[in-house]
Amino acid sequence: MKKVRLQKECIILFAKYPARGKVKTRLTPFLNKTQTLELYVSMLADTTGMLEKSGPDILVYCYPAGSVKAFRKFYGKGMDCRSQSGKGLGERMKNAFLNTFGSGYSRAVLVGCDIPGLSGRIIRAAFRGLKNKGITIGPAVDGGYYLIGFDRDSFLADIFTEIHWGSSSVFADTLKIIKENSRKAVILPELRDLDTIKDLVFFAGHKSRNSRVFQLIRRIFHGAALSHG
């Protein structure tokens, strides 16, 4: 019988398979499909690299269904890739937590790969929050959240079933559900995800950052300036 892992921390990474024309489509028409794909691959690589240095195990939950084999080829050996399951985002997130806790993990934090400002420091703060309160959440500038985490005993399925996804009230509505369940959450610093041209312009101004993503964004904007000069 396989030994069940207890008292272990895990990072759940939600990732969409990097296919041309299928990722970050809201960045077009400013970016062409090749640039958009390169940007997404860079974000995925940067995020994975940062998470690998953070310490906890990483489970990559892949989308769409059936892309697990392709993701394993993308990452190479050693990465635990699993399929996202469920009809909508909320159900897929809920099922990922249930699957992760069912694998023996006692604390889990879920993130996406499109938050250039996400750091190991924030990940460590998230797990400290789980030890103190059992729930942690990182608000996003657009009114959503970029990170949510639970310990196994504090998991609330209602957080994923009673939310209007894509609205500017996702974070506020989630906090309301937490409060209604007589729970408290540790709130992390606010960060911006990269979804729109406005976000791209914002990150282009962070010249002090030298990650692959920021280098690519600067190169894109430099090329745009030349083409319009």
User: For 123-144, how does the pLDDT look when each residue is reduced to its tens digit (9 = 90+)?
Assistant: 999 999 999 999 999 999 999 9
Report helix angle 120-132 to 33-52, nearest 10.
60
User: Please, what is the average pLDDT of the chain?
Assistant: 89
Domain spans of the chain, in order of start: 9-195
d(CA 85, CA 104) in angstroms, rounded, equals 19
**What burial class does residue 7 get, using C-beta atoms within 10 Å of its C-beta: 0-12 exposed, 13-18 middle, 19+ buried?**
exposed
State both tokens at 82: 């699993």
State yes or no: pLDDT of 195 exceeds 60: yes
Strand order in the sheet with 80-83: 80-83, 57-63, 9-16, 107-111, 145-151, 135-139, 186-187
Q: What's the mean pLDDT in 146-154?
A: 97
The residue that leads in pLDDT, 165 or 3, is 165
User: For 66-114, how does the pLDDT look when each residue is reduced to its tens digit (9 = 90+)?
Assistant: 899 999 998 988 899 999 999 999 999 999 999 999 999 999 999 999 9
Instruction: Please report, for the chain, how many H helices and E strands are present, in that order.
Output: 8, 7
Q: What pLDDT is stored for residue 213 in this prediction?
A: 84
Give which of 10, 30, 34 is closest to 22, Cα–Cα: 34
Which residue type sits at 214? F
Q: What's the mean pLDDT in 137-166?
A: 94
Q: What pLDDT is stored for residue 226 in this prediction?
A: 35
State yes or no: pLDDT of 8 exceeds 50: yes
CATH code that applies to domain 9-195? 3.90.550.10
The overall longest dimension of the chain from CA atoms, in Å, is 66
Give which of 187, 20, 211 is closest to 115, Cα–Cα: 211
**What burial class does residue 208 get, using C-beta atoms within 10 Å of its C-beta: 0-12 exposed, 13-18 middle, 19+ buried?**
exposed
* pLDDT above 90: percentage of residues in the chain: 72
